Chain A
C-alpha cells in the first residue's frame, strides 16, 4: 500500500570500483532498468532492500486495522469487498517481499526484522479503526495517498520493484473507490452517519498527509534516491498533488477536510494548506503510535498461530519425497 524511506541512507562507499559506478550511474540516468544480477553499488542495494521491505511490511501490517472490521461489516456486499481488499494487501506484501528477495535478502530475515520491531512500516497503521467510517476513510485517503506514491514508482530504476508496482497499482484503484463509496453513502445518510463520516475524515486527514514523509528540507535521502531513480517525485510534490485532488472529492460529498487553512491559490494552481504536526509523525515513527504495540502483538500472534500449518505442510512434503523414493 505504501512506502516511506524512514531511515538515514548510507553514503556510497569510496572504495567501490569507480568505473563500474560511473557505468551504473549512466545507465540509471538514461532511465534504464537495473536487474537483480546486474552490478550495483552497495548503498543502492541497501537503500532498496530497506525501502522495499518497509513497503512490504506496510502492506502486511495494513491488513490489521481493516481486518478488525471484516466480521462487523454492515452488509454481505461490504464484507465480500473488504475481504477481497485485505486479500489484495496480502498479495501486495508478497509481491514486494519477492522483489526484495531478488536483492539477496531472505524472506525470513525480513519477517524476523518486522516481528522483532527492528523494521519500520508506514506510520499510518498505528492509528486505530474506531468506526465503520474509518474503513471508508482508509480506502479513500490512505489508499489514495498510496496510489499517489506508487504511480511514479512504476518507473523506479530497479526492475523487480517497478514490476511489482505495476501490479499493485492495477489493483489499488478498486481499494480507493470502494472506500470513497463507503464515505459517499454515509455522507448521504442520517445525521449520525454523516457525523461518523466527518469524524473519520477528521482523524485520518493529517496522518494521511504524513504518509508522504517529512518535508523535503528534512528528507536527507531524497536527493540521492531521486538521482538513483529509486524515488521519482519529492515528498512535498506528492503531498501537494494529494491535497489538490482530495479536497474537491470531500466537497463533492459534503464533507470538509479538517484544516481551516485550506484555500485555493490561483497563482500556484493548487491549494494552500496548514502545517502538518511533524512532532506527532516522528513520535509515531519511533513507535509511539496509538496502537503500535497492539499491531505488532497481533502480527506476531498471527504468525505463531499459523506455525502448525507450516509445520504440517513441511511434514507432508517430506513424506511425499519419501514415498517417491520408496516407489
Chain B
C-alpha cells in the first residue's frame, strides 16, 4: 500500500475582479504539482484565471460545536443593519 500525498485546498478566481473561491482539494507531494493537479482537476472548462493551493493542514477552522459562542452575539445586534432605523419617506438620499 502506498502513502497518500499531503492534501491541498484549491481556490479558483473565476475572472478578474472576483475573489478566489474554494472549489475542492487535491493530493500532491509539493506545491508545484498541487498547482498542476488543481489545474487538471478543477479548470478543464475555463473555470478560472488564477489558482491558489494551500496545504490543508494550514487551515484553522472554527469548531461547529462553538457556533453559538462564535456567531450568536451578532444575532441581537440588529442595529448594525440600515433597516433598523425608521426614516420618514419624504427624506431622500439616505
Taking a contact as CB atoms closer than 8 A, the residue among B26, B33, B44 that contacts A313 in the complex is B33
Chain A residues with Cβ under 8 A from B81's Cβ?
Answer: none
Contact A91 B4 (CB under 8 A): no
- What is the size category of the interface that chain B forms with chain A? 20 to 34
Contact B4 A108 (CB under 8 A): yes
Is B61 interfacial (CB-CB < 8 Å)?
A: yes
Contact A101 B7 (CB under 8 A): yes
Docked CA distance A314–B27 (Å): 12
Taking a contact as CB atoms closer than 8 A, the residue among A35, A98, A108 that contacts B2 in the complex is A108
Chain B residues with Cβ under 8 A from A164's Cβ?
Answer: 24
Contact A39 B1 (CB under 8 A): no
**Total CB contacts across the A-B interface at under 8 A:** 52
Contact A108 B3 (CB under 8 A): yes
Is B63 interfacial (CB-CB < 8 Å)?
A: yes
Chain B residues with Cβ under 8 A from A37's Cβ?
Answer: 61, 63-64
Chain A residues with Cβ under 8 A from B41's Cβ?
Answer: 91, 94-95
Contact A98 B25 (CB under 8 A): yes
Docked CA distance A88–B7 (Å): 21
Q: B78: shortest Cβ distance to chain A, in Å?
A: 23
Docked CA distance A320–B40 (Å): 23
Chain B residues with Cβ under 8 A from A78's Cβ?
Answer: none
Contact A107 B27 (CB under 8 A): yes
B73-91: CB near A (< 8 Å → 1, else 0) gives 0000000000000000000
Report which residue of A84, A164, A167 has the largest number of chain B beta carbons within 10 angstroms of its beta carbon. A167
Chain A residues with Cβ under 8 A from B7's Cβ?
Answer: 101
Docked CA distance A317–B5 (Å): 11
Chain B residues with Cβ under 8 A from A108's Cβ?
Answer: 1-4
Chain A residues with Cβ under 8 A from B5's Cβ?
Answer: 313-314
Which chain A residues (89-138) contact chain B, with CB distance < 8 Å? 91, 94-95, 98, 101, 106-108, 112
Docked CA distance A64–B8 (Å): 28
Docked CA distance A204–B65 (Å): 49
Is A87 interfacial (CB-CB < 8 Å)?
A: yes
Q: B33: shortest Cβ distance to chain A, in Å?
A: 6
Docked CA distance A310–B28 (Å): 10
Docked CA distance A310–B4 (Å): 10
Q: B64: shortest Cβ distance to chain A, in Å?
A: 5
Residues of A within 8 A of B (CB): 35, 37-39, 84, 87-88, 91, 94-95, 98, 101, 106-108, 112, 163-164, 167, 171, 307, 310, 313-314, 316-317, 320
Q: List 14 A-B pairs, Cβ < 8 Å.
A: A39-B64, A39-B65, A87-B40, A91-B41, A98-B25, A98-B26, A101-B25, A108-B2, A163-B24, A167-B23, A167-B24, A313-B28, A313-B33, A314-B5
